[in-house]
A and B are shown apart, each in its own frame.
Chain A
Amino acid sequence: MESIIETKDLCKTYKLGDLDVQVLKDINLEVKKGEFASIMGPSGSGKSTLLYLIGGLDRPTSGNIKINGKDISKMKDKQESEMRRKDIGFVFQFYNLIPNLNIEENIMLPILLDGKRVKTYKDNLDKILEIVGLSERRKHTPRELSGGQQQRVAIARALINEPEIILADEPIGNLDSKSGTEIMELFQKINLEQNKTVVQVTHSMEASQYGTRVIKVKDGKVY
């Protein structure tokens, strides 16, 4: 299988006052297309930082990241944003939906940002809403939904542009166990049925069992 995510000698250092804190140290990682990887590790180990670097939300101090063979660490803002729009779908622990937009509008944001016409993606939207089970609540605002439902909307938003990679940061960290199970099943379904590559950061062993691979991070290193 070809690799869709590759990191080489990836380092990330943060400034904490006068102190340099090295969060990630020479990370060399490869994720194959269609894999469902779970990054696990104790708090402060650098797992989320790794995910954000892969997603182009942050820049590495040194090293390279390749998404679909393209080195994103050298990309300009415009290309990097385009990559986030087209190649990657993000799902966050706290859903991060725009509170004053309804579900449909939240989901369609990546389409709008891509300069496409919303109307042409109506079928796609219907299909995704069907997948996440929120067809009936499309006109509701996020605050009218439960946590689990909000996370489904976030997943739908991540899927709308049909990216190959879904990155999820603690996707069930803020949910009860029932909702958590439903979300994980949804990720699994997306992984299996749509052949999407899913990389999640999680503390939960249970959540990691839905994946095909576990990447352990400790003290900024991958084990």
Chain B
Amino acid sequence: MSIIVKFILRNIKEKKFRTFLILISIMMSSALVFASLAISTTAEDMIIDNYRKFFGSADITVNAGMNMKNSFISPSLLDDYDDGIKYVAGEVVTSGEYKHNDETIRLTLEGYTLDDLEKMYSIVPANKYNLEPFKGKKAIIGKGIAEKYGLKLGDSMGIKMMGTTKWFTISAISEPKGPFDSYGGSVYIVVPRETLAGFYDERGKVQTLYVGLENPELQDVAIQKLSQAYPYYRVDATIPKADLEKETEQISTIFLIMAMFVVILSVFIIYTSYKVIMMERLPIIGTFRSIGATKKITNRVMKIESLIYGVIGGILGIILGIGILYLMTKQIMSTELSSGGTVIHFKFSQLLIAFIFAIVLAYISSTRPIKKASKVPLKDVILNKLEVKPKRKKLKLIIGIIFFSFGLGAPFVAPKNTVINVISMFLLIPAVIFIVPYITNIFLKVFEKFYGWIFGNEGIIATQNLRNNKSNVNNITLLGISIAVVLMINILSYSMAQDTISYYGNYKYDINVYTWPSNRTAESILLSVDGVEDTYGTYSQYDVDIVDKDSKITVIDGVDPSKYLNYMNISTEEENIQEILDKLSDERNIIITYSLKDKLGVQKGDYLKLKTSRGVLPYCVIGYFDSERFGGSHCLIADRYIKSDMAKKEYGEIYIKTNKDPEVVAESIREKFKNRPAYITTLNEQEQQNLQGTEKIMGIFKGFSILALIIGVFGVFNNLIINFIQRKRSLAVLRSIGMNKKQSIKMIFVEAFTGGLIGSLVGICMSGLLIYAVCKVFESMEGSMNNFVKLSGATFIEALLIGIIITIIASIIPALKSSKLNIIESIKYE
């Protein structure tokens, strides 16, 4: 047995480049699968860690309900309720400013008792000065702020809050933990709860009760029970774990789909490499068989070799995957989330899945070539007489056409079925693989007509050589898939960036304000700010069920018809959209997007039965508009109906038009709203933030596509070398009948150019198909990418040149080798 193991290991060591190629394919595939799986865990844990900074170990929050007059509640509210509760902690919160030299530091002041601080965050300050009793104007600050501003125990801090400056004595300096951990632009300090409540004249009360559960797993049940027990209060989860899990799983799914493109390339490379391995090993297999080894044994030897590739590739893949996960995390997570540095989280099960995936990938990809070789009759194996049986070419073409038809047609038959749409997308790849030999021959026939004029007779010979040449077809396929994936991702990311820009082009406001409470009073305050010309409060309702259509509208905006067009451009084919908007207030009318119109199959005059807080109410469709917002699932109704039917009392957002520089006006608004929660962003800032967000995600996708290209390029190099080895004899024949070295080099470069050209053209066409398929997948997920994808001619030309350059560079070694070819050795070998 040890001889067999030695034999296998020697085989692996012998062909270094091929081993490298197989290993890198397995490694990258398993790395991407691991990183794609683990990114959800990392994202989830990072978000939870971030939540924990603010909520500690609390699972539930209890606040005053919307209909209560006061936002303060009793800290002993839950004293009589002991169903699964571990602890209850009360909090009062406000904001303030601390001036250090010329710098103004924004502070969030959290009022806690020391006992609650310990319960929620396990914080027991060790570095303290006269901390107890924790009453009056004392403050606990974090080590970070203390070091940054040179604050020491016993120092006084003047904090401007509620219009006046109040002085607090620093009574403890905490380790960077919980609220004292650095976070974005605001610094958190803890003061006695009663002191803060006193500033609001609400002594003995709190704003929020934090509830820690005996069993955090029962969060949902506890929320339900508490909501029932305290119907006038708002009971929420501190961390909506189920939603979070769902969201992070979605991130994983998207990355896994991207990783699958790399996996397909890897399968193709391993499969083709194994075909060559089997061809080369046939004489050795023959020897094994002639001395008594059964087919089963020889197959097992080859399979063990593939498993070794899988194990090594899997281990290396996990190491690489951890690195990729780190980079993905760094790229994808916002600065706020990763303020403590990029930390990755993964489960052992994810490591195991990636490892098993690597082994299965290697095993499955090599199975068919091994099986095929085992079917060669023993006599032929021993004599190394490999009869080239005529391939079932037509069958492959038929399968290719069937896959192609399914890939293109299935999305029309089952437009809402995401699984079928994803399968259709991936079927397009084998479809192209099966059809490529025919496309190649068609191209070659065309090229042959004019290659004589361009490249001379060497050009004609080159096209003849490429006909029905397997390595060439493999090359074209590899290049085609790689270029298609790169192009698809680049075009989608470019389109998304363009879409973000054009998306904000539809907004006509200058500043967007989100504050709480968001009502007419807030609007009046805003109007009093210098530079604010006009304001417009929007109402939005999310996820509204259409009862009779078994569908949902993602967002319904309640609009003021007289103002809406001043703040928003509407793209529509309707002749007079203002007239239609005016009709919204007449009765329960609705304007829907064109994509919803197609999706729901409704016409003007039809009614949509919407589930509202007042029951199911019919809304009459009176017009259409184009909107890619919310994946096209977007409607407009009159603000009076959203208020009455959907119980909307607060604005969602307030849009502002300015008559001064929006940045300056935004700063004035921030100053005015510094004592209340408010998010103020200019349109430009929103656009930049969105663009950055898009670029971050697409950056990872681009990384995936580059990995696909790297594997593809290695594959092309390998194929060209294999091609050279297999064609040594033909090249020697050509030399023997008078081809000189220069002609030989020229011919090989023309072949490379042609392969690169066809591969790139295939890639370009395939990218179009994949983009089409991605659009259909999006549509099946209730999204819309209509009018979204922007094709760029320059990108196609770049892809064409990249494909040609790659193959030409890859053919330098074969070209040089061909010129140094020993004609006699190559010819005489049989």
Question: Interface residues, chain A, CB within 8 Å of chain B?
Answer: 48, 52, 55, 57-58, 77-78, 80-86, 89-90, 92, 94, 96-101, 105, 109-110, 112-118, 143, 157-158, 161
Q: How far is the CB of A14 from chain B (nearest CB, A)?
A: 11
CA distance A85 to B461 in the complex (A): 15
Find out whether the CB atom of B738 lies under 8 angstroms from the CB atom of A113.
yes
Asked whether, in the complex, the Cβ of A96 is within 8 Å of the Cβ of B743, the reply is no
Sample 20 A-B pairs with CB under 8 A, ordered by A number: A48-B828, A57-B823, A57-B824, A57-B827, A77-B740, A81-B741, A85-B737, A85-B738, A89-B737, A92-B827, A96-B732, A100-B468, A100-B469, A101-B464, A112-B457, A112-B458, A112-B461, A113-B734, A114-B457, A161-B738
The minimal Cβ–Cβ distance linking B347 to chain A, given in whole angstroms, is: 52
Chain B CB count within 10 A is highest, among A48, A78, A96, A157, for A96
Given contacts A82-B738, A96-B729, contact A113 B467 (CB under 8 A): no
Complex CA–CA separation, A114 to B824 (angstroms): 22
Q: Residue of A at shortest CB range from B472?
A: A100
Expressed in whole angstroms, the Cα–Cα distance for A161 and B732 within the complex equals 19
Cα distance A85–B733 in the bound complex, in angstroms: 12
Whether A90 lies near B734 (C-beta < 8 A) is no
| Chain B residue with the shortest CB-CB distance to A111 | B457
Within the complex, which residue of B388, B465, B733 is in contact with A96, where a contact is CB–CB below 8 Å?
B733
**B461 contacts A113, CB within 8 Å?**
yes
If A94-B830, A98-B733, A113-B457 touch, whether A81 touches B824 (CB-CB below 8 Å) is no
Instruction: Select B735's contact among A48, A81, A98, A116, beta carbons within 8 Å.
Output: A81
Find residues 717-743 in chain B having any chain A CB closer than 8 Å to their own CB. 729-730, 732-743
Chain B 652-676 interface mask (CB, 8 Å, partner A; 1/0): 0000000000000000000000000
- Return chain B residues, CB-CB under 8 Å to A84: 736-738
- The one of B461, B742, B830 in contact with A78, judged by C-beta atoms closer than 8 angstroms, is B742
In the complex, residue of chain A having the shortest beta-carbon distance to the beta carbon of B738:
A85
Q: Is B84 an interface residue (CB 8 A)?
A: no
Contacts of A96 on B, CB cut-off 8 Å?
Answer: 729, 732-733, 736, 827
B743, closest chain A residue (CB): A113
The answer, yes or no, to whether B409 is at the interface (CB within 8 Å) is no
A143 lies within 8 A of B827 (CB):
no
Partner of B824, one of A58, A110, A118: A58
Q: How far is the CB of B463 from chain A (nearest CB, A)?
A: 11
Closest 10 CB pairs of A and B: A85-B738, A81-B740, A112-B457, A84-B738, A96-B733, A100-B468, A57-B823, A77-B741, A113-B738, A78-B740
A113-B739 contact in complex given A96-B729, A96-B827, A98-B465, C-beta closer than 8 Å: yes
Task: Encode B609-641 as 1/0 by CB contact (under 8 A) with A.
Answer: 000000000000000000000000000000000
- B285 to chain A: which residues have CB within 8 Å? none
Closest A residue, CB atoms, query B388: A143
B460 within 8 A of A: yes
Q: For residues 699 through 717 of chain B, which have their beta carbon under 8 Å from a beta carbon of chain A?
A: none
Q: Tally the A-B contacts, defined by beta carbons under 8 Å.
A: 87
Contact call A52/B824, Cβ cutoff below 8 A: yes
Cα distance A8–B331 in the bound complex, in angstroms: 75
B736 touches A109 (CB 8 A): no
Interface residues on B, range: 20 to 34
A17 CB to nearest chain B CB (Å): 16
Identify 10 new A-B residue pairs, CB closer than 8 A, beyond the known A83-B738, A113-B457.
A48-B828, A57-B735, A78-B742, A97-B733, A100-B467, A100-B469, A101-B465, A101-B467, A110-B738, A113-B743
Q: Report Cα–Cα, A94/B467, bound state, in Å.
A: 22
Q: Is A109 a contact of B734 with CB atoms below 8 Å?
A: yes
Chain B residues at the A interface, C-beta cutoff of 8 Å: 388, 452, 456-458, 460-461, 464-465, 467-469, 729-730, 732-743, 823-824, 827-828, 830
**Which B residues touch A94, using CB under 8 A?**
830
Contacts of B464 in A (CB 8 A): 98, 100-101, 105
Chain B residue nearest to A80 in the complex (CB) = B740
Contacts of B460 in A (CB 8 A): 112, 118
Given contacts A98-B465, A100-B468, contact A113 B736 (CB under 8 A): no
Kindly state the separation between the CA atoms of A129 and B174 in the bound complex, as whole angstroms.
98
State which of B452, B730, B737, B741 has its C-beta within 8 Å of the C-beta of A110.
Answer: B737
List of A residues within 8 angstroms of B458 by Cβ: 112
Dominant secondary structure at the B interface: helix
Measured CB to CB, the closest approach of chain B to A4, in angstroms, equals 18
Q: What CA separation (Å) do A161 and B742 show in the bound complex?
A: 20
- Would you call B461 and A109 a contact (CB within 8 A)? yes
Instruction: Find chain A residues with CB under 8 A from B736 CB.
Output: 55, 57, 84, 90, 92, 96
The residue of chain B having its C-beta at the shortest distance from the C-beta of A90 within the complex is B736
The answer to whether B830 and A114 have CB atoms under 8 Å apart is no
A117: chain B residues at CB < 8 Å are: 452
Which residue on chain B has the smallest CB distance to residue A86?
A: B738
A194 to B533, CA, bound (A): 103
Cβ–Cβ contact B737 & A157, under 8 A: yes
Q: In the complex, what's the smallest C-beta–C-beta distance from B450 to chain A, in angstroms?
A: 14
A104 to chain B, nearest CB (A): 11
Q: B742 and A113: CB pair below 8 A?
A: no
- A94 and B730 alpha carbons, distance in the complex (Å): 12
Cα distance, A92 to B733, chains bound together (Å): 9
Least distance between B449 CB and chain A CB atoms (Å): 13
What's the least CB distance linking B743 to chain A, in Å? 6
Instruction: Please measure, in the bound complex, the distance between the C-alpha atom of A42 and the C-alpha atom of B81, giving whole angstroms.
Output: 108
Q: Which one of B458, B733, B742 has the greatest number of beta carbons of chain A within 10 Å?
A: B733
Q: Inside 8 A of A97's CB, which chain B residues have their CB? A: 733
- Please determine whether B738 and A114 come into contact, CB atoms closer than 8 angstroms: yes
How far is A92 from B743 in the complex, measured between Cα atoms in Å? 22
Question: A169 → chain B, closest Cβ, in Å?
Answer: 8
> What A residues does B465 contact at CB under 8 A?
98, 100-101
A105: chain B residues within 8 A (beta carbon): 464
Chain A residues closer than 8 Å to B742, beta-carbon distance: 77-78
Q: In the complex, A78 Cα to B830 Cα: how many Å?
A: 28
Task: Tell me the bound Cα distance from A169 to B460 in angstroms.
Answer: 29
How many Å lie between the Cα of A78 and that of B828 in the bound state? 23
Docked complex Cα distance between A140 and B478 (Å) = 30
Q: How far is the CA of A48 from the CA of B730 in the complex (A)?
A: 19
Bound CA–CA A81/B469 (angstroms) = 26
Nearest Cβ distance between residue A116 and chain B, in whole angstroms? 8
Within the complex, what minimum Cβ distance (angstroms) separates B162 from chain A? 87
The answer to whether B823 touches A58, judged by C-beta atoms less than 8 angstroms apart, is yes
- Chain B residues contacting A118 (CB-CB under 8 Å) are 460
Complex: chain A residue closest to B731, CB-CB? A98
Task: Tell me the minimal C-beta distance from B744 to chain A in angstroms.
Answer: 9
- Which residues in A have their C-beta under 8 angstroms from that of B469? 100
B467: A residues at CB distance < 8 A: 100-101
The CA of A86 and the CA of B737, in the complex, are separated in Å by: 9
Q: How far is the CA of A77 from the CA of B729 in the complex (A)?
A: 19
Q: Across the interface, name the chain B residue whose C-beta is closest to A102.
A: B464
Cα separation A113 to B464 with both chains bound (whole Å): 13
Taking the closest CB of chain B, its distance from the CB of A56, in whole angstroms, is 9
| Residue of A83, A84, A157 contacting most chain B CB atoms (<10 Å) | A84
* A119 to B219 CA separation, bound complex (whole angstroms): 85
**With A and B bound together, what is the CA distance between A137 and B730 in angstroms?**
21
Residues of A within 8 A of B457 (CB): 112-116
Hey, which chain B residues are within 8 Å of A158, CB to CB? Answer: 737
Bound CA–CA A105/B457 (angstroms) = 12
Residue in B closest to A49 when the chains form the complex, CB atoms: B824
Residue of A nearest to B459 (CB): A112
Q: Taking CB as reference atom, which chain A residue is nearest B742?
A: A78
Residue of B nearest to A167 (CB): B736
Chain A min CB distance to B281 (Å): 22
Residue of B nearest to A97 (CB): B733
